[in-house]
Amino acid sequence: MNIALPVLGGLGLFLYGMNLMGTGLEKATGERLKRLIEILTNNRVMGVIVGALVTMVIQSSSGTTVMVIGFVNAGIMTLSQAVGVIMGANIGTTITAQLIAFNLTDFAPIAVAIGVAIWLVASRKRLKHIAEILIGFGILFIGMDMMGSGLKPLADNPVFTNIIVSLRDPFLGILVGLGLTTIIQSSSASIGLLQALAGQGLVDINIAFPILFGDNIGTTTTAMISSIGANKTAKRAAFIHFLFNVIGTIVFMTVLRAPIEAIVLRISPGNIQRQIANAHTLFNLINVIIQLPFANLLVKAAIKLVPGEEEVAEEVGLKFLDLRIIETPSIALGQVAKEILRMGKIVEENLSKSAEAFRTRSEEMTKEVFAQEQVINRIEKEIVEYLVKLSNAPMTDEQHTQMNVFINVVNDLERIGDHADNIAELTLEVIEDNLPFSDEAMSEFENIFSKSRQVFLKTLESLRDVDFDKAREVQRLEDEIDSLVVEYRNNHIDRLNKHLCQPSSGVIFLDILSNLERVSDHSSNISLYVLDKLKRQG
Round to whole Å and give the CA distance between 204 and 191: 13
pLDDT digits (tens, 9 = 90+) for 452-503: 999 999 999 999 888 888 889 999 989 999 999 899 888 878 877 777 777 8
Which band of pLDDT confidence, cut at 50, 70 and 90, is reported for residue 313?
very low
Round to whole Å and give the CA distance between 338 and 318: 10
- CA distances (Å), 215 to each of 83, 221, 348, in order? 20, 10, 51
Give percent above pLDDT 70 in the chain. Answer: 93
Q: Which helix (H) or strand (E) holds 319?
A: none
Which band of pLDDT confidence, cut at 50, 70 and 90, is reported for residue 38?
low
Average pLDDT value for residue range 260-276: 90
| Of 339, 458, 454, 455, the residue nearest 406 (C-alpha) | 339
pLDDT digits (tens, 9 = 90+) for 499-537: 777 788 878 888 999 999 999 999 999 999 888 865 555
CA angle 166/171/173 to nearest 5° reads 55
| pLDDT at 461 (0 to 100) | 93
Average pLDDT value for residue range 53-74: 80
| Of 438, 450, 416, the residue nearest 502 (C-alpha) | 438
Average pLDDT value for residue range 252-268: 90
Contacts of 176 (CB under 8 A, 6+ apart): 167, 211, 214
Q: What is the DSSP letter of 256?
A: I
Do the Cβ atoms of 467 and 530 come closer than 8 Å? Answer: yes
Round to whole Å and give the CA distance between 177 and 210: 8
| pLDDT at 368 (0 to 100) | 93
- Domains present along the chain, CATH in parentheses: 4-305 (no CATH), 323-537 (1.20.58.220)
| Of 252, 524, 338, the residue nearest 415 (C-alpha) | 524
Tell whether the model's pLDDT for residue 111 goes beyond 70: yes
Amino acid at 532: D
Q: In the predicted model, what is the mean pLDDT of the chain?
A: 86
Do the Cβ atoms of 520 and 478 come closer than 8 Å? Answer: yes
Round to whole Å and give the CA distance between 272 and 374: 63
Do the Cβ atoms of 412 and 528 come closer than 8 Å? Answer: no
| Of 329, 281, 284, 287, the residue nearest 96 (C-alpha) | 281
Amino acid at 406: F
- CA distances (Å), 426 to each of 188, 358, 394, 414, 512, in order? 62, 8, 47, 19, 8
pLDDT digits (tens, 9 = 90+) for 230-249: 778 888 989 999 999 999 99
Round to whole Å and give the CA distance between 519 and 453: 8
Which band of pLDDT confidence, cut at 50, 70 and 90, is reported for residue 538?
very low
**Residue 269: exposure state from Cβ atoms within 10 A (0-12, 13-18, ≥19):** exposed
Do the Cβ atoms of 451 and 482 come closer than 8 Å? Answer: no
Round to whole Å and give the CA distance between 395 and 330: 8
pLDDT digits (tens, 9 = 90+) for 153-184: 776 677 776 777 777 788 888 998 898 888 88
Do the Cβ atoms of 433 and 480 come closer than 8 Å? Answer: no
pLDDT digits (tens, 9 = 90+) for 114-152: 999 999 988 887 788 889 889 998 998 898 888 878 877
Round to whole Å and give the CA distance between 288 and 358: 60
Do the Cβ atoms of 91 and 111 come closer than 8 Å? Answer: no
| Of 37, 63, 32, the residue nearest 50 (C-alpha) | 37
Average pLDDT value for residue range 199-206: 85
Round to whole Å and give the CA distance between 156 and 442: 94
